[in-house]
Structure 1
Amino acid sequence: MKLAVLLWERHRRPLGNLRLCRELAVAGEKRGWEISVVTPGGLLHSSHWEYRWNGTKWVMRSFRGADAVYNRVPHRRFEAQPSFFSALEQLRLWGIPGWNPGFFSKDQVIRSWLARPDLAKRVPGTQLDFEPYQLMSEGDRWLLKPCDGRAGEGIIEVHRVSQNTWAWRWQRRGRVSKDRGSLERCSAFVRRYTRGRHYLAQRQIALATWRGHPFDFRTLWQKDSAGRWRLRGVGARAAGRDRMTTHVPWGGRIAHPHQALEDSFGTRAEEILDEVLKTAASAVAQLDRSRAGRLGEMSIDLGCDREGNVWLFEANAKPMRFDEPEIHPAYLDGVFETARWAKGHLTGLGESEGANRPPVSGRPAARGVPRSIRD
């Protein structure tokens, strides 16, 4: 069988997570799979090209079809391009199925969870649309998150420190800055910083700590060849000193989930971890149901507060790498299982969630299968 990984392209060179593609190529060879990289530019060109790993570099050649396509286009802005939608249409006309229709939008994820009562109680108090001055006036601690954000980029943390003083921190390119001042000054900063992007506001949860650092959980889920959701791994991440998120690239630390829970809850650790996984499984099923069962993988971020209550935070359609040595190999195995499911159950790749689909530009998608595919 053959799996094509959909990336982007710049100057006729593939752009995206090529390390992952190389790992899939090596793992696939051992399993009898052929792996190639495809791009919208290559699929839409009259000669239809792809890239194949030859052991030392990626080599361009004629596109020879695929049993399934795995969307790993690296940036949301690329998925908003007309050529991306044209490529999806081209794959549909060729009858090549795929999964990972596109990045999630945080507000759509939250709306999906709020529609199910048992999950709604696990979502921190959320305002999907808010006016900064009014929000700040309510007091409490708030996290403001860009709906199109990733890895904690662009988040703002706001809280009241005294009768007339508010403090706020924000993260940009992994760097945390902070300031404080009046309600008017704080709300003016929020308006200015969030201008042009859709943000949601969530009440900040006082997370349980491991070795004095707040921690949360990342769970990785993939569909097996029969379309059943399987947990591939769960990891814990502790925030670095003076950091706003637990992401490892921004100073977070890897922890063992059970050990992290034992540090705060002792003998209750196993009970709480079971609840974390049960909640994550329900969250995955609800998101998949809201998208007509077309999803093939995702990660769910959760946390527990200092009383042991479990909270749902985010879902990621294109999970970042899990560095735990036992999780990444399981993920690679899972990709091939998901590809088998996609081949037997899906048609086309779908569309990016919440995207305002632009007009498809350029020549019409070719209905005829390229000669290299027919051969």
Structure 2
Amino acid sequence: MELEQRQLRVSTFKSAKPLLRLSPSTGYLAAAPFRSIECVHGGRRVTLEAVIDEALPRNALSMSSKAAEQLRLTEYTWQMPAGVTQGRIQFGPLIGILSNPRWDKEARTLRKSSQTEVLQRLVEAGREHGAVCFVFGIHSVNLKAGTITGYVLNDGVWHRRQLPLPDVIYDQLHSRKLEQDAKELREALSKRYGSRIFNDGFFDKWQVYEWLREDRQVRQHLPQTRQHTSMSSAEAFLSSHSVTFLKPLHGSLGLGIARFVRQRDGSYTYEVKRKTSAIVRGKAASAKKVLSVFRTRLKHRPYIWQEGLPLATYHHRPVDFRILMQRDETGEWKRTKMFARVARIGDFTSNLSGGGDAMPVDQALAECLPKVEQRNRAKAQIRRLSRQVVDALEQGSGRTFGELGIDLGLDTSGKVWIIEVNSKPRKTPTTEKGRQDLVDLSFERPMRYAIYLATKAAK
């Protein structure tokens, strides 16, 4: 029997016996005055004795303190969404957001940060669409006991609670180091949840390249790329391109990227993006000599080499296009946002975190391409390719994702190229230059998709 979604008003009464009192209007106890009913809250399943209570208002239930303890229902659930049948009540769905929350012992709430604002908006978006949401860190998971120490939001204040394992997990852990530190637990969590955990883990740039090049149509939009294996192969790659990029295999935000430009006399200039947002510049007489500058770096981290393309610019500043693709409540891919990113003056990457500017696609295209027909073709190509990329990635990886950030470049002839794909596109709750409704939608869609996955699993 399909669960009927309702909003239940939950209260408790003191009793050492696990008992449930239900309003007669609920209609899921048939005629018997007492009956056992299965109650589900995330990974918690408890069979309770239930009784009709004429004093309770419509769609209300009251449970004993013992029952609430067994189900790990806490005070954050007093207005509780639930799926209801004659023999079962499934509280929630319960959505867990994996991140890196930090508890402030003195203030007894989460420490404020830019990530905390994002997490709060996600929790609120999930609640608005009928889910119960909490955030948690990877080290707070106890798979054997089936519990998590998580953080729930009540009237704008975070509270620490012992919770059951959620129905679905949305991975928003942006720290590769934390993920590596808890590798075994992380893998066990992924294995246990399967498709009910989405956007788990980080992308490896070389792996993404291999997945994408398996698709015949997508392959045509990939710049030539090689994994760094030896200094001799790197020298050959550098020598064969006038502009070359060196990218950390596991990097993000444009940090650690180096750009090499071959000069007419065979010498090379280079630029390296540092963590401080500063750019270090230098020059060497040959490909071999410029590589010697990077020898130590290349020994300690895996890298890829990528062909530099003659990309269009906006007022002589590098420009690319970010497309946020997300699944919605139907489980289908939708394009949520699409905007241009323009590098700050003197920079060679366009990441907004490094000082780049966001602007409408049409505004950037008007500067990049002189003819209306060219701009229309480029825009259609950006839309088409972004959808092809998500399909190719899922096909190549054998995984299902909930959202992807796709960075595309445009060359001077109007052809669109794939620059990068991000498994954890960063979001901010507000915007100064863009559309706030699309920003709100970017928070709502992942939570709607999480609810879709939970509902699908419950059937």
Please tell me the root mean square deviation across aligned C-alpha atoms, in Å.
2.5
CA distance in 2, matches of 1:176, 1:198: 21
**Residue 155 (structure 1) shift:** 0.5
* Shift in alpha-carbon separation, 1:140–1:301, aligned structure 2, 3 A: same
Determine which structure has greater relative contact order: mean sequence separation of CA pairs < 8 Å that are 6+ residues apart, divided by chain length.
1
**Residue 333 (structure 1) shift:** 1.6
SS of equivalent to 1:341: helix
Query: Residue 220 of structure 1 contacts residue 231 of structure 1 at CA under 8 Å; is this kept in 2?
Result: yes
CA distance in 2, matches of 1:228, 1:72: 20
**Residue 80 (structure 1) shift:** 1.5
String of CA shifts for 1:122-169, please: whole Å, max 9, x gaps.
001111235333333334110111110001110010111132421011
- The structure where strand makes up a greater share of residues is 2
**Residue 258 (structure 1) shift:** 1.2
Match of residue 118, structure 2, among 16, 20, 28:
20
Could you tell me which residue of structure 2 aligns to residue 70 of structure 1? 170
Give the residue type in structure 2 aligned to 1:177.
Answer: V
- Which structure has the larger Rg over C-alpha atoms? 2
**Residue 116 (structure 1) shift:** 1.3
Query: Residue 143 of structure 1 contacts residue 157 of structure 1 at CA under 8 Å; is this kept in 2?
Result: yes
Match of residue 199, structure 2, among 91, 100, 115:
100
**Residue 230 (structure 1) shift:** 0.9
Match of residue 176, structure 1, among 279, 297, 301:
279
* Shift in alpha-carbon separation, 1:319–1:60, aligned structure 2, 3 A: same
**Residue 251 (structure 1) shift:** 1.9
Point out the more displaced range, 232-241 or 46-55: 46-55
Match of residue 224, structure 2, among 121, 125, 131:
125
CA distance in 2, matches of 1:92, 1:199: 29
CA distance in 1, matches of 2:157, 2:257: 38
Matched, 1:306 2:412: yes
* Shift in alpha-carbon separation, 1:199–1:59, aligned structure 2, 3 A: same
CA distance in 2, matches of 1:329, 1:84: 33
Could you tell me which residue of structure 1 aligns to residue 245 of structure 2? 143
Residues matched between the structures, number: 346
String of CA shifts for 1:180-231, please: whole Å, max 9, x gaps.
0212330101222332111111111122122332211000111123321111
* Shift in alpha-carbon separation, 1:148–1:214, aligned structure 2, 3 A: same
CA distance in 2, matches of 1:280, 1:157: 25
Alignment of structure 1 residues 1-375 onto 2, 5 Å: 1-8=93-100, 17-44=115-142, 48-81=148-181, 83-87=182-186, 89=188, 93=192, 97-130=196-229, 131=231, 132-173=234-275, 174-183=277-286, 184-265=288-369, 266-267=371-372, 268-321=374-427, 323=431, 324=434, 325-344=436-455
Query: Residue 148 of structure 2 contacts residue 165 of structure 2 at CA under 8 Å; is this kept in 1?
Result: no
Query: Residue 208 of structure 1 contacts residue 214 of structure 1 at CA under 8 Å; is this kept in 2?
Result: yes
CA distance in 2, matches of 1:270, 1:285: 23
**Residue 75 (structure 1) shift:** 1.0
CA distance in 2, matches of 1:301, 1:139: 22
* TM-score relative to the length of structure 2: 0.70
Gaps of 5+ in 2: 1-92
* Shift in alpha-carbon separation, 1:60–1:186, aligned structure 2, 3 A: same
